[in-house]
Amino acid sequence: AQSVTQLGSHVSVSEGALVLLRCNYSSSVPPYLFWYVQYPNQGLQLLLKYTSAATLVKGINGFEAEFKKSETSFHLTKPSAHMSDAAEYFCAVSESLQKLVFGTGTRLLVSP
Amino acid sequence: KAGVTQTPRYLIKTRGQQVTLSCSPISGHRSVSWYQQTPGQGLQFLFEYFSETQRNKGNFPGRFSGRQFSNSRSEMNVSTLELGDSALYLCASSLFGQGADNEQFFGPGTRLTVL
């Protein structure tokens, strides 16, 4: 069965620093992988998705993620954090027609 | 294009009562999925409806049920509410449903508090 593990329930960075949010997946077939962001009192918004077209995926707001099959990882990065990036981030995996399975989320805190 | 809307946004109920939540998907989307979000359990999939048929179901008791209407609007019902049902209930719509690379668009959620 597919699953996702997000390491670190909270990540703190300073404004302008590199953001790295970790995601490892488990899937019996080539997966589809997603990163979603949730701002306070809002629903989830898609940041980016991996669909096997390219291993480095660029998303909105300057985020990108790299699919590494050998490491079963799909870590999310952003070169320079902004205060507005403070939110909760969810990694998710899907196999073919199976339901979307979410990780437990990582809350990103950005300090000035 | 209007996004996914959920009503009501906030709800307070007492144990034993029942509740109905509503979700209106993006125009043209035929799939509606429901999720429960709690601090302890994270995001858990409840069920998915596609063209008025339940297509996928998560591991929730039968007290949780749903339906979808011909206009793709969906309702979720929880009967005999328990304290543990307090959560943010999120609805998501998509063109083709769960799976593959189909993007799901989420509504703002309904925050249910059970006293």
The dihedral region occupied by B62, where left means phi > 0, alpha psi between -120 and 50, and beta the remainder, is alpha
Q: How far apart are CA A21 and CA A11, in angstroms?
A: 8
pLDDT tens-place string over residues B85-111:
999 999 999 887 766 667 889 999 999
Q: Is A63 on the interface with B (CB under 8 A)?
A: no
How close does chain B come to A29, measured CA to CA in Å?
Answer: 11
Residue A28's pLDDT is: 73
Amino acid letter at B2? A
Interface of A with B in 16-45 (CB under 8 A): 32, 36, 41-45
CB contact under 8 A, A43 and B109: yes
How close does chain B come to A69, measured CA to CA in Å?
Answer: 17
- Residues of chain B found within 8 Å of residue A43, distances taken between Cβ atoms: 4, 90, 92, 106-109
Tokens read off for A21: 């949010």
Residue located via tokens 């304290």: B83
Cβ-based contacts under 8 A for chains A and B: 60
Q: Average pLDDT in the B6-20 region? A: 97
Checking if the pLDDT of A16 tops 70, the result is: yes
Residue B111's pLDDT is: 96
Q: Give the list of residues 6+ apart from residue A44 with CB closer than 8 angstroms, or none.
A: A36, A37, A38, A90, B90, B92, B106
Residue B99's pLDDT is: 63
Dump the DSSP string for A11-74: EEEETTS-EEE--EEE-SS--EEEEEEE-TTS-EEEEEEE-SS-SEEE-GGG-EEEEEGGGTEE
How close does chain A come to B106, measured CA to CA in Å?
Answer: 5
Angle value at C-alpha A4, between A8 and B47, nearest 5 degrees: 120
pLDDT tens-place string over residues A39-76:
988 889 999 998 877 889 999 999 999 999 899 999 99
Q: How far apart are CA B80 and CA B90, in angstroms?
A: 20
A6 in Cβ contact with A93 (< 8 Å): no
Average pLDDT value over all residues in chain A: 91
pLDDT tens-place string over residues A4-15:
999 989 999 999
Angle value at C-alpha B95, between A48 and B77, nearest 5 degrees: 100
Counting every residue written for chain B, the total comes to 115
Report the chain A residue with the minimal C-alpha distance to residue B41.
Answer: A104
| Percentage of chain A lying above the pLDDT 90 cut | 69
Residue B101's pLDDT is: 64
Residue B100's pLDDT is: 61
Helix, strand, or coil here: B62?
Answer: coil
pLDDT tens-place string over residues B59-87:
999 999 999 999 999 999 999 999 999 99
